[in-house]
Structure 1
Amino acid sequence: MVGLGCRRGCSAAALRELIEASLRTLDLGLGSITALASIDLKDQEPGLLELAAQLAVPLVFFNAAQLVAWELHLTHRSAQVFQTTGCHGVAEGSALALAAQLGDGTARLLIERQKTTQMTFALASSLAVGG
């Protein structure tokens, strides 16, 4: 499951570029993505909505409290992100939350937070899936 954080106005093309580059590290392609997730503050973000439509996958949003539940599993905690969102990590937190929700309630990071100036990306899987 893909977790994404982004600045306002981030394009679908830029998000896609980061995702593709990150997935290549595991020899995966865009076809391996089954769902996208982010924080509910981004539920009207055009780039995220467009990317989900392009990939024909669901886009799931979590509130800050749902993401805080995964903070012990984050590889990076951002005080700046916390001031803005109420949680310390959107990409990893939302990837983990979605993997757990769609799996058996457990999750692990497959790709830790990848960051550019405009966005963050993380990939997680349910422990039951094993990959």
Structure 2
Amino acid sequence: MNTAPTLVVGLGCQRGCDVDTLLNLFNAALDAEGIARQRVIALASIDRKRDEPGLLALATVLALPLQFFSAEQLAVYEARLSHKSLIAHAHTGCYGIAESAALALAERMAQAPASLLITRQKNAQATFALACAD
């Protein structure tokens, strides 16, 4: 049986980042790669953002589940990141939230190795990455 690949978006953001900023980044990154928004099946971030209104609103707007991972769970993906942020590490204990969270959730959902289909994209307040697992 040939099933569609698991596509998962990882997100990081500053405190108070609004839903429109996140949605604009989400749409721009997918549009640039010609990937339909409907192919994304879930969102992921770090557990420190569990109560972030913009992220929660984005999940509602997109009607997608949003899952969170601890810094320890995300740290294991460090060697696979396209960009390592010293600022992110200083604040969270991991070098890249968007990419790590996307990889972690794609692998959990697909029970298979994942790779980054879209590496870290950013705007002034947020980061985005898309992971794929078959």
TM over 0.5: yes
Alignment-mate amino acid for residue 12 of structure 1 = V
Paired letter, 1:119: A
Pick which of 49-58 and 22-31 moved more.
22-31
Runs of 4+ in 1 over 6 A off after TM superposition: none
Higher strand share: 2
Matched residue, 1:3: 10
TM-score normalised according to structure 2 size: 0.92
Separation (CA, whole Å) in 2 of partners of 1:50 and 1:12: 6
Amino acid in structure 1 at the alignment position of 2:33: L
Counterparts of 1:97 and 1:86 in 2: how far apart (Å)?
A: 16
Residues 1-131 of structure 1 correspond to what in structure 2 (within 5 A)?
1-126=8-133, 129=134
Deviation track 1:29-56 (CA, whole Å, cap 9, x = no partner) reads: 3212210000000000000000101111
Structure 2 stretches of 5 or more lacking a match?
1-7
State the TM-score, normalized to the length of structure 1: 0.94
Structure 1: 5+ residue stretches without partners: none
Task: Return the alpha-carbon distance in structure 2 between the equivalents of residues 32 and 72 of structure 1.
Answer: 27
